[in-house]
Amino acid sequence: MRNLLFNISYNGARYHGYQVQANAVAVAEVLQDAIEAVLHVREPIVGCSRTDTGVHANSYFFHMKTACNIPCERMVIALNRALPMDIAVHACREVPLDFHARYCCTGKEYLYKLWNSPIKNPFMEHLVYNYRFPIDVERLNEAAQAFVGTHDFRSFCALGGKEIGTIRTIHRFSVKREGELVLFRVAGDGFLYNMVRIMVGTLLTIQEGRLSPDDLPKILEAKDRRAAGKTARAEGLYLNRVYYGGEDIEQLNIHAE
Protein backbone atom coordinates (compact mmCIF):
# COMPACT_ATOMS: atom_id res chain seq x y z
CA MET A 1 0.00 0.00 0.00
CA ARG A 2 1.26 3.49 -0.92
CA ASN A 3 0.16 6.91 0.27
CA LEU A 4 0.38 9.46 -2.54
CA LEU A 5 0.22 13.21 -1.94
CA PHE A 6 -0.90 15.34 -4.88
CA ASN A 7 -0.55 19.08 -5.40
CA ILE A 8 -3.18 20.60 -7.71
CA SER A 9 -4.67 23.93 -8.71
CA TYR A 10 -8.16 24.61 -9.95
CA ASN A 11 -10.49 27.25 -11.26
CA GLY A 12 -13.55 26.84 -9.04
CA ALA A 13 -15.97 28.84 -11.20
CA ARG A 14 -18.06 25.87 -12.30
CA TYR A 15 -17.75 23.79 -9.14
CA HIS A 16 -19.75 23.73 -5.93
CA GLY A 17 -16.60 23.65 -3.83
CA TYR A 18 -14.13 20.82 -3.26
CA GLN A 19 -16.19 18.35 -1.21
CA VAL A 20 -18.34 15.76 -3.03
CA GLN A 21 -22.02 16.73 -2.96
CA ALA A 22 -25.14 14.77 -3.79
CA ASN A 23 -26.71 17.20 -6.26
CA ALA A 24 -23.86 19.34 -7.59
CA VAL A 25 -20.50 18.87 -9.31
CA ALA A 26 -17.51 19.27 -6.97
CA VAL A 27 -13.76 19.22 -7.55
CA ALA A 28 -13.27 15.99 -5.58
CA GLU A 29 -15.80 14.15 -7.74
CA VAL A 30 -14.02 15.17 -10.94
CA LEU A 31 -10.68 14.13 -9.46
CA GLN A 32 -12.07 10.72 -8.51
CA ASP A 33 -13.49 10.31 -12.02
CA ALA A 34 -10.03 10.98 -13.47
CA ILE A 35 -8.34 8.60 -11.01
CA GLU A 36 -10.87 5.89 -11.88
CA ALA A 37 -10.17 6.41 -15.59
CA VAL A 38 -6.45 5.87 -14.96
CA LEU A 39 -6.52 3.10 -12.33
CA HIS A 40 -9.87 1.45 -13.21
CA VAL A 41 -10.83 1.61 -9.55
CA ARG A 42 -12.54 4.43 -7.65
CA GLU A 43 -10.12 5.28 -4.86
CA PRO A 44 -11.15 7.46 -1.89
CA ILE A 45 -9.22 10.73 -1.63
CA VAL A 46 -8.77 13.13 1.29
CA GLY A 47 -8.41 16.88 0.70
CA CYS A 48 -6.52 19.41 2.81
CA SER A 49 -9.49 21.77 3.11
CA ARG A 50 -13.04 22.50 2.09
CA THR A 51 -13.56 25.34 -0.35
CA ASP A 52 -16.89 26.99 -1.11
CA THR A 53 -18.76 27.26 -4.39
CA GLY A 54 -16.84 29.43 -6.85
CA VAL A 55 -13.64 29.58 -4.77
CA HIS A 56 -10.34 28.76 -6.48
CA ALA A 57 -7.05 27.15 -5.44
CA ASN A 58 -3.57 28.05 -6.59
CA SER A 59 -2.18 25.26 -4.43
CA TYR A 60 -4.28 22.45 -2.97
CA PHE A 61 -3.28 19.03 -1.63
CA PHE A 62 -5.04 15.69 -1.37
CA HIS A 63 -3.76 12.25 -0.44
CA MET A 64 -4.77 8.85 -1.73
CA LYS A 65 -3.90 5.40 -0.40
CA THR A 66 -3.54 2.94 -3.24
CA ALA A 67 -2.03 -0.39 -4.21
CA CYS A 68 -1.14 0.87 -7.69
CA ASN A 69 2.54 0.83 -8.68
CA ILE A 70 2.47 3.61 -11.27
CA PRO A 71 5.42 6.00 -10.70
CA CYS A 72 4.50 9.44 -9.40
CA GLU A 73 5.74 11.20 -12.53
CA ARG A 74 3.50 9.07 -14.74
CA MET A 75 0.53 9.61 -12.42
CA VAL A 76 0.85 13.38 -12.94
CA ILE A 77 0.86 12.98 -16.72
CA ALA A 78 -2.00 10.46 -16.77
CA LEU A 79 -4.27 12.47 -14.48
CA ASN A 80 -3.73 15.68 -16.42
CA ARG A 81 -4.81 13.88 -19.58
CA ALA A 82 -7.98 12.70 -17.85
CA LEU A 83 -8.90 16.00 -16.16
CA PRO A 84 -10.70 19.01 -17.65
CA MET A 85 -8.76 22.21 -18.36
CA ASP A 86 -9.84 23.90 -15.13
CA ILE A 87 -8.06 21.38 -12.87
CA ALA A 88 -4.31 20.73 -13.08
CA VAL A 89 -2.08 18.26 -11.23
CA HIS A 90 1.35 19.78 -10.57
CA ALA A 91 3.11 17.17 -8.45
CA CYS A 92 2.78 13.77 -6.80
CA ARG A 93 4.94 12.43 -4.01
CA GLU A 94 4.89 9.26 -1.94
CA VAL A 95 4.53 10.09 1.77
CA PRO A 96 4.38 7.97 4.96
CA LEU A 97 1.20 5.94 5.41
CA ASP A 98 0.19 8.01 8.44
CA PHE A 99 0.41 11.31 6.55
CA HIS A 100 -2.98 13.06 6.34
CA ALA A 101 -3.53 15.97 3.95
CA ARG A 102 -5.89 17.72 6.37
CA TYR A 103 -4.69 16.84 9.85
CA CYS A 104 -0.97 17.25 9.11
CA CYS A 105 -1.58 20.77 7.81
CA THR A 106 -0.07 23.46 10.08
CA GLY A 107 -1.48 26.52 8.32
CA LYS A 108 -2.81 28.06 5.13
CA GLU A 109 -2.46 31.23 3.12
CA TYR A 110 -5.38 32.74 1.23
CA LEU A 111 -5.26 35.34 -1.52
CA TYR A 112 -8.23 37.55 -2.35
CA LYS A 113 -8.15 39.30 -5.74
CA LEU A 114 -10.16 42.44 -6.33
CA TRP A 115 -10.27 44.21 -9.71
CA ASN A 116 -10.42 47.87 -8.71
CA SER A 117 -11.49 49.86 -11.74
CA PRO A 118 -14.65 51.50 -13.10
CA ILE A 119 -14.03 49.38 -16.23
CA LYS A 120 -14.49 45.65 -15.70
CA ASN A 121 -12.01 43.17 -17.14
CA PRO A 122 -13.84 40.60 -19.32
CA PHE A 123 -10.83 38.28 -19.23
CA MET A 124 -11.09 37.92 -15.45
CA GLU A 125 -14.73 36.95 -15.27
CA HIS A 126 -15.32 34.70 -12.23
CA LEU A 127 -11.64 35.11 -11.24
CA VAL A 128 -11.79 38.42 -9.35
CA TYR A 129 -14.29 40.56 -7.49
CA ASN A 130 -15.07 43.57 -9.67
CA TYR A 131 -15.10 46.60 -7.35
CA ARG A 132 -15.36 49.96 -9.08
CA PHE A 133 -15.04 52.34 -6.10
CA PRO A 134 -11.65 53.87 -5.17
CA ILE A 135 -9.64 52.02 -2.50
CA ASP A 136 -7.14 53.52 -0.08
CA VAL A 137 -4.78 50.53 0.02
CA GLU A 138 -2.46 51.95 2.68
CA ARG A 139 -5.39 52.66 5.02
CA LEU A 140 -6.81 49.17 4.60
CA ASN A 141 -3.40 47.54 5.02
CA GLU A 142 -2.96 49.40 8.31
CA ALA A 143 -6.47 48.43 9.44
CA ALA A 144 -5.85 44.76 8.57
CA GLN A 145 -3.12 44.53 11.20
CA ALA A 146 -5.88 44.41 13.86
CA PHE A 147 -6.51 40.83 12.70
CA VAL A 148 -2.91 39.71 13.27
CA GLY A 149 -2.41 37.65 16.41
CA THR A 150 -4.50 35.11 18.30
CA HIS A 151 -8.15 36.12 18.63
CA ASP A 152 -11.64 34.70 18.93
CA PHE A 153 -12.92 35.18 15.35
CA ARG A 154 -16.55 34.31 16.06
CA SER A 155 -17.60 37.70 14.59
CA PHE A 156 -15.92 36.66 11.33
CA CYS A 157 -17.57 33.26 10.99
CA ALA A 158 -20.68 32.84 8.85
CA LEU A 159 -23.84 32.07 10.77
CA GLY A 160 -24.42 28.35 10.60
CA GLY A 161 -20.73 27.46 10.67
CA LYS A 162 -20.10 24.13 12.43
CA GLU A 163 -16.77 24.96 14.07
CA ILE A 164 -16.69 24.19 17.80
CA GLY A 165 -13.73 26.46 18.57
CA THR A 166 -13.42 29.92 17.04
CA ILE A 167 -9.96 30.95 18.26
CA ARG A 168 -7.43 31.24 15.45
CA THR A 169 -3.99 32.80 14.97
CA ILE A 170 -3.37 35.08 12.00
CA HIS A 171 0.35 35.33 11.24
CA ARG A 172 0.19 38.11 8.65
CA PHE A 173 -2.31 40.12 6.64
CA SER A 174 -1.35 42.49 3.83
CA VAL A 175 -3.27 44.64 1.35
CA LYS A 176 -1.31 45.69 -1.73
CA ARG A 177 -2.01 47.14 -5.15
CA GLU A 178 -0.64 45.74 -8.40
CA GLY A 179 -2.02 47.96 -11.13
CA GLU A 180 -5.78 47.53 -11.22
CA LEU A 181 -5.61 44.55 -8.86
CA VAL A 182 -5.86 44.93 -5.10
CA LEU A 183 -4.54 41.82 -3.36
CA PHE A 184 -5.54 40.81 0.17
CA ARG A 185 -3.13 38.14 1.44
CA VAL A 186 -3.71 36.45 4.80
CA ALA A 187 -1.92 33.53 6.44
CA GLY A 188 -2.84 31.74 9.64
CA ASP A 189 -3.00 28.44 11.48
CA GLY A 190 -6.59 27.88 10.39
CA PHE A 191 -9.73 29.63 9.19
CA LEU A 192 -13.42 29.51 10.05
CA TYR A 193 -16.30 29.20 7.57
CA ASN A 194 -16.21 32.29 5.29
CA MET A 195 -13.68 33.93 7.63
CA VAL A 196 -11.42 35.40 4.92
CA ARG A 197 -14.36 36.67 2.87
CA ILE A 198 -15.86 38.36 5.95
CA MET A 199 -12.53 39.95 6.91
CA VAL A 200 -12.10 41.30 3.38
CA GLY A 201 -15.74 42.42 3.28
CA THR A 202 -15.32 44.20 6.60
CA LEU A 203 -12.26 46.06 5.28
CA LEU A 204 -14.32 47.11 2.25
CA THR A 205 -17.07 48.27 4.62
CA ILE A 206 -14.43 50.45 6.28
CA GLN A 207 -13.44 51.78 2.85
CA GLU A 208 -17.09 52.67 2.24
CA GLY A 209 -17.23 54.65 5.49
CA ARG A 210 -19.78 52.48 7.27
CA LEU A 211 -17.18 51.27 9.75
CA SER A 212 -13.92 52.72 11.10
CA PRO A 213 -10.57 50.95 11.57
CA ASP A 214 -11.02 51.70 15.27
CA ASP A 215 -14.11 49.46 15.23
CA LEU A 216 -12.16 46.27 14.48
CA PRO A 217 -11.04 45.48 18.05
CA LYS A 218 -14.62 46.04 19.23
CA ILE A 219 -15.96 43.77 16.48
CA LEU A 220 -13.56 41.01 17.57
CA GLU A 221 -14.64 41.46 21.18
CA ALA A 222 -18.34 41.31 20.23
CA LYS A 223 -18.08 37.66 19.07
CA ASP A 224 -21.16 38.34 16.96
CA ARG A 225 -21.30 37.99 13.15
CA ARG A 226 -23.76 40.89 12.99
CA ALA A 227 -21.10 43.28 14.28
CA ALA A 228 -18.78 42.74 11.28
CA GLY A 229 -19.14 43.95 7.70
CA LYS A 230 -20.35 42.24 4.55
CA THR A 231 -19.10 38.95 3.09
CA ALA A 232 -16.95 39.54 -0.01
CA ARG A 233 -17.91 37.60 -3.12
CA ALA A 234 -16.58 34.05 -3.54
CA GLU A 235 -14.99 34.45 -6.98
CA GLY A 236 -12.13 36.60 -5.66
CA LEU A 237 -10.89 34.00 -3.16
CA TYR A 238 -7.98 31.60 -3.72
CA LEU A 239 -6.44 29.03 -1.41
CA ASN A 240 -2.89 30.05 -2.20
CA ARG A 241 -0.53 27.96 -0.08
CA VAL A 242 -0.76 25.06 2.37
CA TYR A 243 1.83 24.57 5.09
CA TYR A 244 2.97 21.19 6.42
CA GLY A 245 6.18 22.04 8.26
CA GLY A 246 8.56 19.87 6.24
CA GLU A 247 10.59 21.74 3.64
CA ASP A 248 10.34 18.91 1.13
CA ILE A 249 6.55 19.14 1.09
CA GLU A 250 6.48 22.95 1.27
CA GLN A 251 8.34 22.99 -2.04
CA LEU A 252 5.33 21.28 -3.63
CA ASN A 253 3.35 24.55 -3.37
CA ILE A 254 4.36 24.92 -6.99
CA HIS A 255 1.61 27.18 -8.27
CA ALA A 256 1.27 29.50 -5.25
CA GLU A 257 1.53 33.22 -6.01
Q: Annotated active-site positions, please? A: 52
CA 132 to chain centroid, in Å, comes to 24
Report phi then psi at 249, rounded to 5. Answer: -80, -35
DSSP state of 33: H
First to last CA, the chain: 34
Query: Mapping DSSP to helix (H, G, I), strand (E, B) and coil, where does residue 205 land?
Result: helix
CA 82/CA 79 separation, integer angstroms: 5
- Cβ(146)–Cβ(156) under 8 Å? no
